[in-house]
Chains A and B, each alone.
Chain A
Amino acid sequence: MKEIISHLRKAFDHRVRLGVMSILMVNDWVDFTTLRDNLEVSDGNLASHLKALEKEGYTELQKQFIDRRPNTSYRATAKGRAAFLDHLNYLEKIINMQKEQTD
């Protein structure tokens, strides 16, 4: 159990990866530029984090041409959604624990 939690935390233990998943949770396909503009990161930085999420099987991508220019869109997989919800529960638990300690 502990191992699972530490694994989860590693995948989401970065502002950009957490941000990408937040956006993909409430949208269907989202293209690279939209992700980059909302997260305010460089192309290279975003690309490496997207690759990490894809490797985990949390996102999938689709490439197409719009006005003859390549355009890549991303979507959260069922696995990614489940993992993100687990992560939210995990954050909530920490907050509750901290509350109890201060009470």
Chain B
Amino acid sequence: MKESTRHPLDQLRDIHRLMERTSRFIGLSGLSGVGAGCFALAGAVLAQWYLLAGGLASYGHSLYHWPATVHPWGWSPEVFFTLDACFILAGALSSGIYFTTRRAQRKGQAIWDALTQRLLLNLAIPLLAGGIFCLALFYHGIPGLVAPTTLIFYGLALINGSKYTLNELYYLGLCELVLGSVGLFFIGSGLLLWTLGFGVLHIGYGVFMYRKYERNPSSP
């Protein structure tokens, strides 16, 4: 048991492993990223469909006004986009919970411990602030800025949460932040950038993480 008889590199490796395992939540499955991305893509397609059907494709060029005409689907933009957002959120959350729980069960790990709670709390704070900000944008009649704003706050949430999980999340957060910042100035491309950020990036990130950490069962 004497450490002096062990190679210092082995000791350092143990120290590193314990520090990682006790301070970071590493159970988030890459597949949940893929799932969330798919729901985002589906939601974006619905949104585009809605905009085209209502002749609103260029709504983004006007920051302040929805056209006064009634949409052929009978839903006002506020109602439609709220429902669409709820659909995406519910889908993304359930796929995240499903794949992460499945992974934890397979590895016999606890899922609801202090690390998970800390990660979720730190993700939730910027997200809540972003949600309120978006509500204010709707309230003041500036819906064109909502898509890039969600990207920006989501990026900030990921950067904030990355301290408590695998470091790759930090870079995903940076990418979301860049897309959102660009979107602020190109309102007409808001939906496209949103689809890239929440759909394509999530799927890419999920596949990358799955291949890196999960396909090989010996890795963390």
Contact = CB atoms under 8 A, between A and B. Distances in A.
Interface of A: 9, 12-16, 18-19, 22-23, 25-27, 30, 34, 38-39, 88, 91-92, 94-95, 98
Q: 9 tightest CB-CB pairs across the interface, nearest first? A: A26-B23, A91-B8, A22-B18, A22-B15, A26-B19, A23-B22, A94-B8, A13-B3, A95-B8
A91 B11 contact: yes
B1 A14 contact: yes
Contact of A25 (B3, B11, B19): B19
Interface of B: 1-4, 8-9, 11-12, 14-15, 18-19, 21-23, 114
A52 B127 CA distance: 44
Nearest to A10: B4
Nearest to A37: B110
Contacts of B11: 18, 91
Given A38-B18, A95-B12, 7 more contacts: A14-B2, A14-B3, A18-B3, A18-B11, A22-B19, A23-B19, A26-B23
Contacts of A14: 1-3
Contacts of A25: 19
8 contacts: A13-B4, A19-B14, A23-B19, A23-B22, A34-B22, A92-B8, A92-B12, A95-B8
Contacts of A95: 8-9, 12
A33 to B, nearest CB: 11
A13 B2 contact: yes
Given A18-B15, A19-B14, A12 B22 contact: no
B3 A27 contact: no
Contacts of B8: 91-92, 94-95, 98
A15 B14 contact: yes
Contacts of B4: 9, 13
A27 B2 contact: no
Nearest to A84: B15
Contacts of A22: 14-15, 18-19
A27 B22 CA distance: 8
B19 to A, nearest CB: 5
B12 A91 contact: yes
